[in-house]
């Protein structure tokens, strides 16, 4: 489980006065970015050096409690699968008093530059697999 935090930005709020749901998927991305960095395979380097890409092929979220402007949110991220050409992360976003704000998942294909699914390099799977 990796944890990182973000503050709700003003343009992430909508006229309902709460964070718009689309931004939770951006926050999920912050979560997996930090998890991968901690696992020793920063995603940017993966793309730049190994030409491996993890496009999202499925995503879902349950929104349990509204997030408000300037709130600090904690994004907990767990890698639940990394094998073959598939990677799956699960997320739980909570506020500082522990209230659960949202849960979600993303499923990724491991692809080459042209978008063709490829098995992850063994070294990458190993580093992720240690999570």
- Tell me which residues touch a copy of itself (CB under 8 A): 9-11, 13-18, 20-23, 25-26, 29-30, 33, 42-44, 47, 53, 55-64, 66, 68-70, 115
Which residue lies nearer to a copy of itself by CB, 47 or 83?
Answer: 47
- CB distance 53 to 98 below 8 Å: no
Q: What are phi and psi of 36, to 5 degrees?
A: -70, -35
Least separation, in Å, of the C-beta of 7 and a copy of itself? Answer: 8
CA angle (92 as vertex; 10, 38 as ends), nearest 5: 95
Min separation Cβ 69 and a copy of itself, Å: 5
**Cα Rg of the chain, angstroms:** 15
Minimum distance of a copy of itself from residue 123's CB (angstroms): 20
Tokens of 38: 């901690």
Distance of alpha carbon 39 from alpha carbon 126, whole angstroms: 10
CB nearer a copy of itself, residue 33 or residue 74: 33
Q: How far is the CB of 62 from a copy of itself (least distance, A)?
A: 5
């Amino acid at each position: 489980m990796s944890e990182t935090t973000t503050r709700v930005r003003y343009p992430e709020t909508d006229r309902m006065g709460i964070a718009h749901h689309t931004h939770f998927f951006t926050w999920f991305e912050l979560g997996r970015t930090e998890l991968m960095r901690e696992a020793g395979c920063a995603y940017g380097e993966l793309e730049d050096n190994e030409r491996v890409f993890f496009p999202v092929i499925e995503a879902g979220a349950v929104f349990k409690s509204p997030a408000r402007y300037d709130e600090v949110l904690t994004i907990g991220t767990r890698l639940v699968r990394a094998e073959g050409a598939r990677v799956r992360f699960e997320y739980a976003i909570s506020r500082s008093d522990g209230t659960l704000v949202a849960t979600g998942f993303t499923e990724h294909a491991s692809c080459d530059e042209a978008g063709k699914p490829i098995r992850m390099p063994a070294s990458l799977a190993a580093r992720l697999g240690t999570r």
